[in-house]
Amino acid sequence: MKTNNERGAFIQSDLAPFFLITFSLLLNLGWMYYTNYTEEDAFITFRISQQIASGNGFVYNIGEPMYGSTTPLLTLLLALWIKFISADVVFAARLINIIATAVMLFFSWQAVKALNRSSFEQIGVLLALLTSSKLIYMNTQGMEIPLALALLAVSWYFWLKDRPNLAGLMCGLLLWTRIDLAFWVLILIVLASFSRLKDAFRIAFISAVTYVPWVVFAFFYFGSPIPFTVTAKWVAYNLFNESPYLGQLSVVLQYLSPFRADGNLSLWGTAIAFLLAVWGIWANRSMPKKGLVLLMIFIGFEAARLTLTRTTYFSRYFVPILWAAMVLAGVGFGSLWARLKDTRLDKKFFFLFAIILFMLQLQTGLHFAKLTRERQIYRHERSLKAMGIWLKNNAAPNSMVQLEPLGYVGYYSEQWMLDEVGLVTPAVVELKRQRIQAENYASIFKPDYVIVHCGDTLRIPPASDVDPNYSLAIKFDPLHFTETTSVEPALPWLSCYEIWERQ
């Protein structure tokens, strides 16, 4: 049995954080192994990387330069992997995810340490980050999110350590990874100017020098430095959206809960995280806390931006502020732990509080892992991927395929994709601006194949003297859509697709 002094020495050493980081990586690897999950949209980036490695240029459809990826850094890293190491792009993306997660955890800890926070607060931050099933899910799906979080943490750390050159470099790379995180860079520069104006200028200059080469390339190659996916999503989801701002804010706040839940339970989790963050800042108000001010301003600004622009249709947009919120909540958790460690409450109230939070994390996390695994098996593997392989084996090369789920099908089919959101199809975006719905696209573009959800024949144009008929070529229905199943209620429909062929 370890004595209290031995436990205290372990907590106050660097062994505990390294142990937690290692444990977190094992959790992420376990999640990858159990769920085998790769996000649908990740395969859009994979296909562009494959085109680059094959010498076709930064394109999605061959011969059509399109800024169809908002993460050029990850795209180019994967292209280098495919070109010089292996064609297994999924493994490469997962490897980058794991390395980036380790970097994020390490530099989040080091940043809190640079703020002279106690060992309890340092451990509290790591516990908050590693136990969040939302972060585990987002860090293991093959996308750029963990790379962005790593660069957030590293730029934060170098700024706190008064290393403006390195902070500027990390901010520049962050823009290469996710342009929507430009506001983090701006907030960091503004706060740096209050301490040393010279450092703020250096961060801004090096950030710009690092990012400008991509801006110049994008301007001349694509005709615009703005990702076309940003324009397409704005037209598809925002342009005609008049939903109440309060509902949009509720979506953002629910996501900031430490554990994955819905409705009131999620908002209770957000409230707990908020109270812990407030406590951590108040209890240590005499310590230097400009770094925590950066996180607070970033959360407030991003929550307002996402709400006012109604950009709440993808939960991955909330992950950067979830990371910042978990850091603040972890500081509060550790501060409360340190305050109660020598009192009777240490073994009663605090222990019970910690156990309740842990059980909520465990229960919701295991359920979430099960749902994620089922979605990967039935929707991604047995439906979307299977459709892509079928099209590659049965369709003529360069057949035009109209569909909404662009990722898996586009990557595995290697056909010409006409996506109904318009991410890589400018003509679709123009139709959406005119409020022409997806039901009319097949009549306008006359694709060789149309992929629809089972029974959604509105997208199939009727036969006429001018246009030939479309006939059902094959159906993919791994969960028997019309039958009752034991899986997620929406999953049978999400997994059921039909491929219609133009005669």
Tokens 């076709």 map to which residue? 56
Cβ atoms of 181 and 77 within 8 Å: the answer is no
Q: In what order do the strands lie in the sheet with 416-419?
A: 416-419, 400-403, 449-453, 497-502, 470-476
Cβ atoms of 171 and 203 within 8 Å: the answer is yes
Q: What DSSP assignment string belongs to 288-312?
A: --HHHHHHHHHHHHHHHHHHHTT--
Question: pLDDT at position 236, please?
Answer: 85
Q: What is the token pair recorded at 8?
A: 């205290």
Pairwise CA distance, residues 247 & 251, whole Å? 6
Each residue's pLDDT, cut to its tens digit, for the chain (503 residues) gives 445 554 455 456 678 899 999 999 999 999 999 999 999 999 999 999 999 999 999 999 998 888 888 899 999 999 999 999 999 999 999 999 999 999 999 999 999 999 988 888 999 899 889 888 889 999 999 999 999 999 999 999 999 999 999 999 999 999 999 999 999 999 999 999 988 899 999 999 999 999 999 999 999 999 888 888 888 888 888 888 888 998 899 889 888 887 776 556 677 778 888 888 888 877 766 555 578 889 999 999 999 999 999 988 888 999 999 999 999 999 998 888 777 776 665 556 666 666 776 776 777 788 889 999 999 999 999 999 999 999 999 999 999 999 999 999 999 999 999 999 999 999 999 999 999 988 999 999 999 999 999 988 888 888 765 667 899 999 999 998 876 555 666 899 899 999 999 98
Tokens 């094992």 map to which residue? 26
Question: pLDDT at position 288, please?
Answer: 54
Sequence ranges of the domains in the chain:
11-341, 378-502
Of the candidates 393, 391, 394, the one whose C-alpha atom is nearest the C-alpha of residue 403 is 391
Question: pLDDT at position 103, please?
Answer: 97
Pairwise CA distance, residues 196 & 183, whole Å? 20
Question: pLDDT at position 170, please?
Answer: 98
Could you tell me the sign of the dihedral formed by the alpha carbons of 117, 122, 123, 125, in that order?
A: positive
Cβ atoms of 337 and 350 within 8 Å: the answer is yes
CB atoms within 10 A of CB 297: 17
Say which DSSP state 237 is in: I
Q: Which amino acid is at 351?
A: F
Helix count and strand count (H, E) for the chain: 22, 5
Of the candidates 384, 398, 402, 487, the one whose C-alpha atom is nearest the C-alpha of residue 444 is 402
Which is it for strands 449-453 and 497-502: parallel, antiparallel or unpaired? Answer: antiparallel
Question: pLDDT at position 230, please?
Answer: 86
Cβ atoms of 135 and 366 within 8 Å: the answer is no
Strand partners, 483: none
Pairwise CA distance, residues 37 & 432, whole Å? 32
Pairwise CA distance, residues 249 & 242, whole Å? 14
Pairwise CA distance, residues 228 & 235, whole Å? 11
Pairwise CA distance, residues 99 & 21, whole Å? 12
3-class secondary structure per residue, 342-392: CCHHHCCHHHHHHHHHHHHHHHHHHHHHHHHHHHHHHHHHHHHHHHHHHHH
